[in-house]
Structure 1
Amino acid sequence: MSNQSCVRIQTEWDIVAARQLGRNVAKELGFGIVDQARITTAISELARNIFIYADKGKVCIEKIYEKGHAGLRIVAIDNGPGIMDIRLAMEDGYSTSGGLGAGLPGVKRLMDEFQIVSSPETGTEINAIKWIR
């Protein structure tokens, strides 16, 4: 995937770097200000989850083109402990870190497509796509 850029997530600063990368790519693709904000918020949530729960991982941003539409794919990958109950993790208000619990359900709402695969053996991979309207 030649139009994919990744940021390793190990420190708080990496979260900032991932957000910045996402905003720049969204701007390049022609997303409006509101969608740029949605994308950077989603990236922030995903990167923060990696930082808090998995210790380290990466967030990749990719320009995608399908059937004449342009979009942006966020892939968040870690090899942390995995999410024990994805259904529960996708419920509004659920949090294991004492946070607001807006994380994953919030990301799903902010983006157009959302997919999560997780297991204790392999960690978690989240794919989220936003299409230009």
Structure 2
Amino acid sequence: MEMFRIQELSDAILVRQKGRDIARMVGFNLVDQTVITYTISELALYLISLSEKGHMTIRAIGSHKGEVKSGIEVRLFDHYRGPTRVNPLWFEKVAADLDVTCDPLRGTMITFRKWKVLPLRIDSTICAAGEE
């Protein structure tokens, strides 16, 4: 996991490129890479517009411990200590999982995850009820 302090435009460019690299490494197609990169870029630009700034973390994740990486997780930490100033509605279209927590001591934390769609496995030994 890498942490990026977001304070100026060059930080937004760096974090956007790192997000694209991780999405490519995980195996997302070009459209999903673009959506992930756009979302990271918008979050970084949002942090730049705030006087308190913030930071982001990005990492490749697996759906189960020890599993091959099949998704990406991005966390935004807004250092503002009041009620959240983020409208998470637009994240719902791009994220598979979305968590927004507000803590008066630490600020707002937004976590979004996007999973790679894996092909259906036909070689499975799981049978329907009554089949053997």
Is the pair's TM-score, using the shorter chain for normalization, greater than 0.5? yes
1:115, 1:127 within 8 Å by CA — same for their partners in 2?
Answer: yes
Distance 1:120 1:53, change over 3 A: farther
**TM-score, normalised with respect to structure 2:** 0.76
Q: CA deviation at 1:132?
A: 0.3
Which structure is larger by alpha-carbon Rg, 1 or 2?
2
Greater mean deviation of Cα atoms: 6-15 or 52-61: 52-61
Q: Do structure 1's residue 18 and structure 2's residue 15 form an aligned pair?
A: yes
Extract unaligned runs of 5+ from structure 1.
91-103
After superposition, the CA RMSD in angstroms is 1.9
Extract unaligned runs of 5+ from structure 2.
118-132
Q: Do structure 1's residue 55 and structure 2's residue 52 form an aligned pair?
A: yes
Identity of aligned residues (%): 30
| Corresponding residue number in structure 2 for 1:131 | 115
Structure showing the higher helix proportion among its residues:
1
**TM-score, normalised with respect to structure 1:** 0.76
Identify which of 94, 97, 111 aligns with 1:113. 97
Q: CA deviation at 1:29?
A: 0.6
Q: AA paired with 1:109?
A: K
How many residue pairs end up in the alignment? 114
Identify which of 110, 122, 125 aligns with 2:106. 122
| Corresponding residue number in structure 2 for 1:79 | 79
1:64, 1:70 within 8 Å by CA — same for their partners in 2?
Answer: yes
Q: CA deviation at 1:40?
A: 0.8
Q: CA deviation at 1:6?
A: 1.7
SS of match in other structure, 1:66: coil
